[in-house]
Amino acid sequence: MTAIILAQASAGGAGIMGQVFLFGSIILIMYFFMIRPQQKKQKETKKFIEEIKKGDDVVTIGGIHGKVSSVEGDAVFLELDRGFKVKVEKSAISLDFSKKPTK
């Protein structure tokens, strides 16, 4: 009788370990396919925004194309046409659309 109880207890322990292993592997896969790439993109965006300088061609999140005429703190003045300037926040500049395609 005690041998049957011990056999059932050891079988139940193996099932729990399998579930823990499965859950841990799912978390690991999510980290490498979802969380890590997002952190990398955020780091690239932050670096891009910090390195904006006069003369750069950029695109805002709203789709406005312009050339940076000056940078003042967290604000950027974009020249859209000769003499027509718009003040936007640095965070409103899109990294994805401002990148020039590499050939």
H helix or E strand, kind and range, residue 72: strand 65-72
pLDDT tens, N- to C-terminus, the chain (103 residues)? 444 444 444 555 568 988 999 999 999 999 999 999 999 999 999 999 999 999 999 999 999 999 999 999 999 999 998 889 999 999 999 888 877 654 4
| Topology classification of domain 53-103 | SH3 type barrels. (2.30.30)
- Map out the domains of the chain as residue ranges: 1-51, 53-103
With contact defined as beta carbons under 8 Å apart, do 68 and 54 qualify?
Answer: yes
